[in-house]
Amino acid sequence: MTDARSGIERIVYGYAERVDAGDFVGMAALFRHATYKGGGPDDPGVVGAEAMLAIQEGIIRRYPDGTPRTKHVVTNLVIDADEEAGTASARSYFTVLQQVDEFPLQVVVAGRYHDRFERADDDWRLTERIILCDLIGDVSKHLAFDPFQAR
């Protein structure tokens, strides 16, 4: 059985690794039992891997190497787990850096992840991710839409 810290770290850091590698299918698989609220806590969200894959493929730009040319840096991970109940929550910060040929290396967005987890089949799985974007820079090379028009 995987302990909470190890299982949750693998999910939180694995999400960032998969997105940066352009592995949207692998990243979406993390959400097969989860709700994703990319617009904050008031966002009704979407549920499941297929919905998450559709969102990522629809909004994140990928470049000829198949990646979004980003690095998600996840820090300040705080995990609150109830091992007996098989439930947990976590909070972390994220910073997304990006660089493409016509776009020098820079931070494009920073914010927080608020996550919930449950233990199933002796391992941990994500049940909810709320993304809170605190700082938004130039995301024109990262997103296929203008986030300021959506407000």
pLDDT, tens only, 9-58: 999 999 999 999 999 999 999 999 999 999 888 999 999 999 999 999 99
CATH number, residue 114? 3.10.450.50
146 assigned to some structural domain: no
144 assigned to some structural domain: no
pLDDT on residue 149: 63
The proportion of the chain whose per-residue pLDDT surpasses 90, expressed as a percent, equals 89
68 assigned to some structural domain: yes
Range with the poorest average pLDDT among 1-10, 23-32, 84-93: 1-10
Enclosing domain of residue 71 = 4-136
Distances (CA, A) of 23 to 12, 34, 41: 15, 18, 26
Is the pLDDT score of 90 beyond 70? yes
The total domain count for the chain is 1
pLDDT category at 150 given cuts 50, 70, 90 is: low
pLDDT category at 121 given cuts 50, 70, 90 is: confident
41 assigned to some structural domain: yes
Model's pTM, two decimal places? Answer: 0.93
121 assigned to some structural domain: yes
10 assigned to some structural domain: yes
